[in-house]
Amino acid sequence: MRQLTRIMIIDDELHDIGFMIQFFEERLPDCSFETFGSAEEGLARLHFSDARGDNPALPDDPDIIILDLTLGAMDGFEFLKRIRRDELTRQIPVIVISGDGSTLSVDKAYEAGANTMFRKPSSLEGYRAMIGAIVEYWQKTARHAAA
């Protein structure tokens, strides 16, 4: 079974990034993280440009990308479209998080290439539950894929 060990988080809210890292580390202590405050920085990293995130670069592509939709100049929708058009990055699973849970946003995220979408939690327990669901789904999917 392939382990979930390399996680990229793209979110312009530092406290949200901190919560996600904290709860991923509770469940998966051997994880490595790359964090970016903008879609442009994350995209540049995936294309191996001279991007600098807030953490040391991962040695390989991430196992998953956690992507906020509401970012700066380039939003999460555009980021998704770009990585899905690129043969080198289209296979990376992307989990979208957003404060906007409207049907329009959900549909637009899936059309752009999201693998799944969560409403951005408003509490620490909400973050813990969301990260728990992501880890459990990954473990079930990886176990099934290995069989």
Q: What is the pLDDT of residues 21-52, one digit of tens each?
A: 999 999 998 889 999 999 999 988 887 554 45
pLDDT of residue 53: 53
pTM of the shown model: 0.86
Dist. CA 28–CA 117, nearest whole Å:
21
Cβ(89)–Cβ(61) below 8 Å: yes
All domains of the chain, ordered by start, with CATH?
Answer: 6-139 (3.40.50.2300)
Average pLDDT over residues 42-64: 68
What rounded mean pLDDT belongs to the chain?
A: 85
